[in-house]
Amino acid sequence: MAVAELCPSYTKTSLHSSQLSYASTRLSNHCRLAFRPLPRTRYGRVYCSVAPNQVQQPVAVQTEDTKNKPECFGVFCLTYDLKAEEDTKSWKKLINIAVSGAAGMISNHLLFKLASGEVFGPDQPIALKLLGSERSFEALEGVAMELEDSLFPLLREVSISINPYEVFQDVEWALLIGAKPRGPGMERAGLLDINGKIFAEQGKALNAVASRNVKVIVVGNPCNTNALICLKNAPNIPAKNFHALTRLDENRAKCQLALKAGVFYDKVSNVTIWGNHSTTQVPDFLNARIDGLPVKEVIKDTKWLEEEFTEKVQKRGGVLIQKWGRSSAASTSVSIVDAIRSLVTPTPEGDWFSSGVYTNGNPYGIAEDIVFSMPCRSKGDGDYELAKDVIFDDFLRKRIAKSEAELLAEKRCVAHLTGDGIAFCDLPEDTMLPGEM
Ligand SMILES: NC(=O)C1=CN([C@@H]2O[C@H](COP(=O)(O)OP(=O)(O)OC[C@H]3O[C@@H](n4cnc5c(N)ncnc54)[C@H](OP(=O)(O)O)[C@@H]3O)[C@@H](O)[C@H]2O)C=CC1
Ligand SMILES: O=C([O-])CC(=O)C(=O)O
């Protein structure tokens, strides 16, 4: 970073504290420096008095102090005097949001939704902490540049790093999207192992440095078992705070039911996706409602519901890949927004939403100690409870049991990553992620 950027007017600028020693190194020979910390922030103002022609072009070096910290990015390293606005607006306390796989396709949609305010509200300033890898670091800088150029008023900090321990520091939300896609010829067990290692490491990092009340949404596949691995490696964070994203499946199911019934999709409610985010998932039409009525009273074609509808939802991701040549990114990011908003706003009376959550005393008789998608309700405080008014029939029970068996097998397969002993992979059949068929 050039001195001119650090001290653009040559009289006064604001710096993140991590830049201070660098600023001092570069400027001390040329100007008198004073650093005054701003209250309750990690920023301060550097005051220097120097004539422009005295400033020499710097060599971009970082001191020991700065190089192990996540880098704040460009314009997000500055702070501004918002006092005039603060008189008229009441901003909420800044929240820290970590996003992994931040240079990937889903994040490319999601980050801009988060920064726009449509997720956490128009009075909620946010800090985005982007996690990438050496492979993606330059792309991550590109993402941060686009965020700069978008001039989002609510986006107060952006930092990028390849170290989860830096990125997860004090985060209140962790959106874990980055994962290796399953390549040709790769066994599902191999995918579980490779991605499981990523989520074990990230669980440990969350455990060490995140807010104790962090909410974690695991998107990277296989997301249920990745979420299980993550929470098992984070024993100091409540297991209830971990979610595997099945909201996209719920949205897909709502769309298909609306289409069949000839209604707009906002008329469809109480849709549960049970189980795994895989082709064994169970889109529940028994409890779902259209315009307040049980689906079966509106759609009388039971064969369609049991066969076509169920399979269409289970395989929607794969069909989309065949059309697009890549997996759902925009609709996934929309569903992540939906998932977050369902936790931070009260669930409408009588309705619920689906999320893959830890089974610990569930009322449905589902095996304990796995991450299973179930119907949830929230008061809007970030927490949830399981919906109680749910009915089952033989068809639903049988389908749920299949997804449950799959998740139990996945769990045995990653025992070495959850602290449950030696892994034993006996996956019942090579079931697929929605995108793999
Ligand atoms: N739950 C759900 O409903 C859905 C889940 N998904 C899943 O979300 C994940 C991300 O999808 P998408 O954004 O489209 O994917 P992309 O391929 O566009 O991005 C994935 C990111 O994962 C990171 N990554 C981490 N580890 C590896 C690794 N070992 N090999 C390769 N990449 C790695 C990469 O970032 P970097 O280089 O920085 O590490 C990359 O940017 C996938 O696992 C996908 O299957 C997708 C749709 C729906
Ligand atoms: O398998 C994938 O990456 C895609 C996926 O999860 C989906 O579309 O639901």
Pocket test for ligand 2, best of 182, 248, 328 (most atoms within 8 A of CB): 328
Quick check: 383 and 343 in contact, CB under 8 A?
yes
Q: What is the pLDDT of residue 324?
A: 87
Whether 264 has a pLDDT exceeding 80, the answer reads yes
Quick check: 103 and 140 in contact, CB under 8 A?
yes
Question: What are the angstrom distances between the C-alpha of 332 and each of 138, 154, 248, 337, 338?
Answer: 24, 23, 6, 9, 10
User: Which protein residue has the closest C-alpha to ligand 2 atom 8?
Assistant: 317
How does DSSP classify residue 407? H
CA within 13 Å, CB half, 2: 8
pLDDT band at 189 (very low <50, low <70, confident <90, very high): confident
Return the minimum-mean-pLDDT range out of 87-101, 307-321, 391-405.
Answer: 87-101
Higher pLDDT, 389 or 46: 389
Retrieve residue 63's tokens: 């001191």
Q: What is the DSSP string of 61-111?
A: ---HHHHTSPEE-GGGG-----HHHHTT--PPPPEEEEEESTTSHHHHHHH
Whether 67 has a pLDDT exceeding 90, the answer reads no
- Nearest ligand to residue 221 Cα: 1
pLDDT band at 405 (very low <50, low <70, confident <90, very high): very high
Q: What residues contact 267, with CB distance under 8 A and at least 6 apart?
A: 258, 261, 290, 291
Whether 349 has a pLDDT exceeding 80, the answer reads yes
> Averaged over 386-409, what is the pLDDT?
97
Pocket test for ligand 2, best of 321, 327, 354, 432 (most atoms within 8 A of CB): 327
Q: Name residues contacting ligand 2 (CB within 6 A).
A: 221, 248, 317, 327-328, 433-436
Instruction: Kindly report the number of other CB atoms within 10 A of residue 88's CB atom.
Output: 6
Q: What percent of the chain has pLDDT over 90?
A: 71
* Residues in the chain, total: 437
Pocket test for ligand 1, best of 100, 180, 357 (most atoms within 8 A of CB): 180
> Averaged over 262-273, what is the pLDDT?
97
- Asked if residue 105 has its Cβ within 6 Å of ligand 1, the reply is yes
> In 3-state terms, what secondary structure has residue 171?
coil
36: enclosing H helix or E strand: strand 32-37
Among residues 382, 361, 105, the alpha carbon closest in space to that of 242 is found at 382
Please list the alpha-helical segments (H only) found in 265-385: 295-298, 302-303, 310-324, 330-344
Quick check: 66 and 21 in contact, CB under 8 A?
yes
The mean of the pLDDT values for the chain is 85
Whether 25 has a pLDDT exceeding 60, the answer reads no
The reply to whether ipTM tops 0.90 is yes
For the CA of 328, the nearest atom of ligand 2:
8
How does DSSP classify residue 185? T
Q: What is the pLDDT of residue 142?
A: 97
Return the minimum-mean-pLDDT range out of 62-66, 140-144, 186-190, 399-403.
Answer: 62-66
Whether 32 has a pLDDT exceeding 90, the answer reads no
> Averaged over 255-273, what is the pLDDT?
97
User: Which protein residue has the closest C-alpha to ligand 2 atom 2?
Assistant: 435
- What is the whole-number distance in angstroms between the Cα of residue 277 and the centre of ligand 2? 8
CATH, domain range 89-244? 3.40.50.720
Q: What residues contact 5, with CB distance under 8 A and at least 6 apart?
A: none
For the CA of 433, the nearest atom of ligand 2:
1
Q: What is the pLDDT of residue 338?
A: 98
- Nearest ligand to residue 198 Cα: 1
Higher pLDDT, 168 or 64: 168
Higher pLDDT, 18 or 290: 290
* Residue 222, preceding peptide bond in cis (omega within 30° of 0): yes
- What is the whole-number distance in angstroms between the Cα of residue 175 and the centre of ligand 1? 12
Instruction: Parse the chain into domains and list their residue ranges.
Output: 3-69, 89-244, 247-418
- What is the whole-number distance in angstroms between the Cα of residue 192 and the centre of ligand 2? 15
Residues 39-65: tens digit of each pLDDT = 333 433 333 333 333 323 322 333 344
Whether 36 has a pLDDT exceeding 60, the answer reads no
- What is the whole-number distance in angstroms between the Cα of residue 227 and the centre of ligand 1? 14
- Nearest ligand to residue 101 Cα: 1
Q: What is the pLDDT of residue 57?
A: 30
Beta-strand (E) ranges in 122-228? 126-131, 155-161, 173-176, 215-218
Among residues 298, 294, 297, 293, the alpha carbon closest in space to that of 261 is found at 298
CA within 13 Å, CB half, 12: 5
Catalytically annotated residues: 277
- Asked if residue 178 has its Cβ within 6 Å of ligand 1, the reply is yes
Quick check: 277 and 253 in contact, CB under 8 A?
no
Q: What is the pLDDT of residue 81?
A: 67
CATH for 247-418, among 3.40.190.290, 1.10.20.10, 3.90.1150.10, 3.90.110.10?
3.90.110.10
Q: What is the pLDDT of residue 171?
A: 98
Question: What are the angstrom distances between the C-alpha of 227 and each of 47, 199, 242?
Answer: 47, 7, 7
> Averaged over 72-87, what is the pLDDT?
73
Residues 351-366: tens digit of each pLDDT = 999 999 999 999 999 9
> Averaged over 394-402, what is the pLDDT?
98
Q: What is the pLDDT of residue 430?
A: 58
- Asked if residue 331 has its Cβ within 6 Å of ligand 1, the reply is no
pLDDT band at 20 (very low <50, low <70, confident <90, very high): very low
Among residues 382, 435, 409, the alpha carbon closest in space to that of 172 is found at 382
Q: What is the Cα Rg of the chain in Å?
A: 24
- What is the whole-number distance in angstroms between the Cα of residue 317 and the centre of ligand 2? 5
Cα–Cα–Cα angle for 336, 396, 299, rounded to 5 degrees:
80
Q: Which residue bears the tokens 């059309």?
A: 323
pLDDT band at 2 (very low <50, low <70, confident <90, very high): very low
Q: At what angle do helices 188-209 and 394-413 cross, to 10 degrees?
A: 80
Retrieve residue 123's tokens: 């009075």
How does DSSP classify residue 212? T
Determine if residue 19 is left, alpha or beta; phi over 0 gives left, psi from -120 to 50 gives alpha, anything else beta.
alpha
Quick check: 408 and 428 in contact, CB under 8 A?
no
- What is the whole-number distance in angstroms between the Cα of residue 331 and the centre of ligand 1? 15
User: Which protein residue has the closest C-alpha to ligand 2 atom 3?
Assistant: 435
Rounded CA-CA distance 75/124 in Å is 19
Q: What is the pLDDT of residue 179?
A: 96
Rounded CA-CA distance 231/143 in Å is 29
Whether 331 has a pLDDT exceeding 90, the answer reads yes
Higher pLDDT, 29 or 127: 127
Q: What is the pLDDT of residue 427?
A: 84
pLDDT band at 185 (very low <50, low <70, confident <90, very high): low
Rounded CA-CA distance 261/259 in Å is 6
Rounded CA-CA distance 303/42 in Å is 61
CA within 13 Å, CB half, 28: 7
Among residues 372, 401, 375, the alpha carbon closest in space to that of 389 is found at 375
